[in-house]
A = this chain, B = another copy of it.
């Protein structure tokens, strides 16, 4: 039995705030808990925001902005966060971020920014953010939950966004079933389950998007979250270009 619940009563988070202390003050952590955290509060605590007014868009940003009907300063911020532009069209800019994620606008987002005219970027190293958050929670509460940091990504081929993991610590992001057997004793075909992404999606169901609930606790996943070390992080979920058919 899995229980999923939003953490209530978190304060608004700003640059330099101790997010772990805010979380530890709002929820009593138990061994085996998984904390799923929307990246925006992590980004804000880490100061990963940019004022639109401070951005001077270059020629490529201006050209893409005109083509897509976007603010050229926003596009410049997107390009600054991108390793490459994968596709443009239908008013969207699909980028590969410096971390290797492929998503719209390289995750650069204007909604839920603390102030108007401010962009929120993805954390520079979301696996590192998850590890630091986990270590600080252990320090404060004596319990080291698994931590998953999420963003909402659109998908190829399907409408709508789902939350996915962009960073994690303390759990195996990919549960590898190759070589195991099905209920009838036959070997399963190549099956690796992206547990970190399923946790991200599950947590989003317990959140009211307009209610400011960035932190969700998932309980009852003991058999899959019980690793003492931080593990490989979401880096293990990134499919390298040479093994990808869709870029």
Residues of A at the B interface (CB closer than 8 Å) are 1-5, 87, 89-90, 92, 94, 101-102, 109-112, 114, 116, 152, 155-164, 173-175, 177, 180-184, 186, 188-189, 191-195, 197-199, 201-202, 204-206, 209-212, 218, 221, 224, 236-239, 243-247
Contacts and interface: CB of A to CB of B under 8 A. Distances in A.
Q: Which 5 pairs of residues, A with B, have the shortest CB-CB distance?
A: A160-B194, A202-B202, A156-B246, A183-B212, A201-B201
Contact of A202 (B4, B101, B112, B238): B4
20 contacts: A3-B4, A90-B245, A101-B157, A102-B156, A110-B189, A111-B188, A111-B189, A114-B184, A157-B246, A158-B197, A159-B239, A161-B194, A162-B194, A177-B210, A183-B210, A198-B202, A198-B204, A199-B205, A202-B202, A205-B218
B157 A193 contact: no
Most buried by B among A92, A109, A110, A239: A239
Contacts of A3: 1-4
A247 B157 contact: yes
A94 B174 CA distance: 21
Contacts of A211: 183
Given A1-B4, A112-B184, A160 B202 contact: no
Contact of A209 (B155, B158, B191, B199): B191
